[in-house]
Amino acid sequence: MTRPILFDLDGTLVDTPNAIVETFGATLTSLGVPGVSPEEIRSTIGLPLEKAFAQLIGTSAPAATVEAA
């Protein structure tokens, strides 16, 4: 009989806040969005992705840029 194993990945095996900051930063850089600090990115953790990127990119960004993110 197979026995299931349950474990906590988030914050236990993976440092997700740092991974999120790194991947958001790389994405923003690839889109040509300058000057977004790790602290600004960290402040969006937990928001839906569309809202987080819209906040980080700024409301003046074209919709296509927000969509690309």
Residues 6 or more apart in contact with residue 65 via CB below 8 angstroms: 31, 33, 57
Predicted local confidence at residue 2, as pLDDT: 92
- pTM, full prediction: 0.69
Instruction: Domain count for the chain, please give it.
Output: 1
pLDDT in tens, 21-50: 999 999 999 988 888 999 999 999 999 988
Quick check: is 15 catalytic? no
Q: What is the token pair recorded at 7?
A: 């474990």
Predicted local confidence at residue 13, as pLDDT: 80
Q: Give the range of the structural domain holding residue 44, as residue numbers without chain letter.
A: 16-24+36-68
In the set 1, 3, 10, 46, the catalytic residue is: 10
In the set 1, 8, 39, 60, the catalytic residue is: 8
| Inside any domain, residue 5 | no
Average pLDDT of 39-64?
83
Q: Tell me if 19 sits within 8 A of 11, measured CB to CB.
A: no
